[in-house]
Amino acid sequence: MKTPPKRLLVPVAVALLAVMGLTAAWWWLRQSPLPEGLIQANGRIEGDHYLVAGKMPGRVAELFAREGDAVQKDQVLLRLDAAQVDARGEQARQAVVALEAQFKAAQTGLAMLRKDAPLTVQTAEAGEALARSQRATALANAAQAARDAARFKRLAESGTVDRHRYEQMELASQVAQNQADAARHGVTSAEKQLAQARLGLERIRAREDEVAALAAQRDQVKAALAEAQSVRDDLTLKAPAAGIITTRMVDVGEVVAPGAPMFDIVDLDRLYLKVFIPANEIGKLRLGLPARIHTDAFPDEPLAATVRHIASQAQFTPKEVQTPDERVKLVYAVKLYLDANPQHRATPGLPADAVIRWKEDAPWARPRW
């Protein structure tokens, strides 16, 4: 057997030494596994998204926010052109003023009619009935007095009674007839008063109908004015929540359709880390468990989080999971919501590692990959 040349032994030795060095370094740097009671996972920070869309179509007149801007709740983001809406609103406003003046004038006229008509229909009807009753009584009395006068006239002519007695009965008959005539005039006057009362009532009712119609028109125009104001308010888009604008889909001068999304806002106070837990460990988790999220940007300042969502169905490991040995397993999606986001230092898209504690007495530790 031939001995290898000496010039080959040197490279082989160097290679062996390098492998041994790397192996030693790996053993030296290898970290111990996490303590019992902790589960580690990784993912990217996400957040609750709000798509800002308008209810009305229009042209973008003013733009107040762009990508990356931090906005507060109810902050104005943009305004659509409101020229047409303002014109309709001004027309409705002028109509309200005119109808309000007509309504007040009609109310004044109605009050005057009621004041000038103290005699009600019921009183006039009662007066007419009384006048008719009095006339009937007067007519009956006049007829009886006339019969008595005629009888005494025959008696006077036959000498049964003296003429003075006859003249008294004749006078009484004349008085009764005068009373009957007066009662007839009283009925006529009562009928006139009743007719006037009914005419006044018709005028009052007509004026009441006029007042009611004007009030209805005024309220209708007021509703149109309120609708115009509501439409104008809808032309101003505001942020539904505080957060960061991640996407802006429009620019000044563009015409947008109703319901078209214009901004995408992420709430920085509702961020979560979405991780995937292997099926053999998902049974250890439950809602409400504490977690700590570690980021490369703030390695020494982990963020406290809580398990708020555990998927009910398993899935194959998504491609974005970083560790190769986890990419061939069935996993469950879990969302770890941040308890707080101081200075909003955590932002959507930031990669992070998480440690979930499923045993209360387990000591916290940093993720170890």
**pLDDT tens-digit map of 140-153:** 887 887 887 788 77
**pLDDT tens-digit map of 272-283:** 999 999 988 999
Least confident span in 11-25, 103-117, 153-167, 225-239 = 11-25
pLDDT at 337: 96
Tell me which range, 58-62, 126-130, 203-207, is most confidently predicted by mean pLDDT: 58-62
Higher pLDDT, 121 or 53: 53
CATH H superfamily, domain 85-233: Helix Hairpins (1.10.287.620)
**pLDDT tens-digit map of 323-352:** 555 555 789 999 999 999 888 888 888 899
Q: What residue segments make up the domains of the chain, in order of their start?
A: 85-233
Label residue 310 exposed, middle or buried (CB < 10 Å: 0-12, 13-18, 19+): middle
25 has pLDDT over 50: no
Contact predicate 54/80, CB 8 Å = yes
pLDDT at 323: 54
CA–CA distance from 114 to each of 100, 108, 196 (Å)? 21, 10, 13
pLDDT at 29: 44
- Amino acid present at 342: P
Residue 255's DSSP bridge partners are 59
CA–CA distance from 286 to each of 94, 214, 334, 355, 359 (Å)? 64, 66, 10, 14, 11
Residue 80's DSSP bridge partners are 60
**Residue 244 token pair:** 């960061």
CA atoms lying within 13 Å on the CB side of residue 100 = 8
1 has pLDDT over 50: no
Q: What percent of the chain has pLDDT over 90?
A: 27
Q: How far apart are CA 287 and CA 329, in angstroms?
A: 22
Taking residues 192-202, report their average pLDDT.
70
